[in-house]
Amino acid sequence: METVRTVVLGALGIASCLALLFVASQLGVRWHRTVISIVALQGLVYQGALWGGVTFTLKRFDVGGSYFWLYAALLTSVAGMVWALFLLGATLFSRRSTD
C-alpha cells in the first residue's frame, strides 16, 4: 500500500462525506436527509477509526516526524461527525412536517 495513495484516498473519503452532509442539509424531504446523514456519519466514523489507528500505531512504534496531517484528518473527521449528529438531530426532532 503506497502512502501517498492512502492519504489521497482518505482525503477524498473525508471530503465526500462532508459533501454528502452539505447536500443533506439542502434537502427538504426528511427521510432523504436522514439516510444521507447516516451514510455520511458512518463514513466519517470509519475514517476517524482508520486515521486514529494509524496515528496510534505510529506513535506506539515511536516513528519520528510530524503528526500534523494525521491530527488534521482526525479533527476534520470529528468535526464532520458533530455536524452529522447535529443535522440528524435537527432532522429527527424538528416539528416541520415535510413528507
Structural domain boundaries enclosing 76: 17-93
For residue 10, tell me if it sits in a domain: no
Closest Cα to residue 39, out of 7, 82, 94, 84?
A: 84
Asked, for residue 76, whether it belongs to a domain, the answer is yes
Which residues does 7 contact at the CB level (< 8 Å), separation at least 6? 69
- pLDDT on residue 69: 87
Counting the structural domains of the chain, the total is: 1
Residue 3 lies in a domain: no
Query: What would the DSSP string read from start to end of 19-40?
Result: HHHHHHHH---HHHHHHHHHHH
* Residue among 23, 21, 22, 26 at smallest CA distance from 41: 21
pLDDT of residue 98: 53
83 found inside a domain? yes
pTM exceeding the 0.75 threshold for the entire prediction: yes
2 in a structural domain:
no
The mean pLDDT value for 52-63 works out to 90
